[in-house]
Amino acid sequence: VSMNGAAARLEQLDSVSDNLANAQTPGFKSSRPAFEAFLAKADPDQTPKVYTAAVATQVDLSPGSRTHTGNPLDVVPSGRSFIGVQTANGIALTRNGSLAVSSDGTLTAAGLPVVDRQGRVVMAPPNTTVRVDTAGGVFANNVRVGEVGLFEVNGPVDRIGPSLIAPHDQKTISLSDDQLQIGQLEMGNASPLEATIQMVSSQRNFETSLQALQTYKRMDERASEVGRAR
């Protein structure tokens, strides 16, 4: 029982440490482990033991704080929309609106190609000045060359990177009509103060579980000594 409690708290510590380290990462979404207690009883006359385990990790999709940068390629989707990017497994989503243009003219976000509302990669001619408007339109030297696809997710997701999430099923992604806020970035939604408090609490609970384990170990050793012939 003590070992299961320590293992669960250790997993919580890993999650909280990750949240704290990425509190200022643009578009970062914090994770929160979910715990469950299992009852085990060898026979009907025994008192059941309660075993605790971390059974799942939930991604918190709430928005983070915003910072003004003045960069015309820094954007924040309004509402709960996400920017669509292309991966090997389909469309992934990000709130990291620090857009950039690669050497071949590909518009990228979170290091991946940005897609439009039809799922096509957004490209701009090389050696042009690229900007984005509030409606998501992408312009190269004031000529419209594409649009930033904004999407909503209506199902469970997995975090596949510090600022990147992927839906369990691509069918849960739907188009969004939200707009973009220009010259801003959304930072991580993990509060450094809250994460620090959680870390201290988790570490104390972890140490308590280990102390209980050591106590039972010493009791076993004393019981062995009492029954030993002298």
pLDDT at residue 156, rounded to an integer: 87
pLDDT at residue 43, rounded to an integer: 62
Predicted TM-score (pTM) of the model is 0.74
Least Cα distance to 156 among 60, 42, 19 occurs for 60
pLDDT at residue 114, rounded to an integer: 97
pLDDT at residue 11, rounded to an integer: 77
pLDDT at residue 204, rounded to an integer: 83
pLDDT tens, the chain, 230 aa long:
777 777 777 777 788 888 888 888 899 998 877 766 666 665 666 666 666 665 567 888 889 999 999 999 999 999 889 999 999 989 999 999 999 999 999 999 999 999 999 999 999 998 899 999 999 999 999 999 999 999 999 988 988 988 999 998 888 999 999 999 999 999 998 888 887 887 788 778 778 877 877 887 888 777 777 766 55
pLDDT at residue 6, rounded to an integer: 72
Least Cα distance to 32 among 51, 46, 11 occurs for 11
Name the residue with tokens 């009883």: 41
Contact 26, 187 (CB under 8 A): yes
Distance of CA 123 to the CA centre of its chain: 28
Whole-angstrom Cα distance, residue 90 to residue 171?
Answer: 11
Whole-angstrom Cα distance, residue 38 to residue 48?
Answer: 9
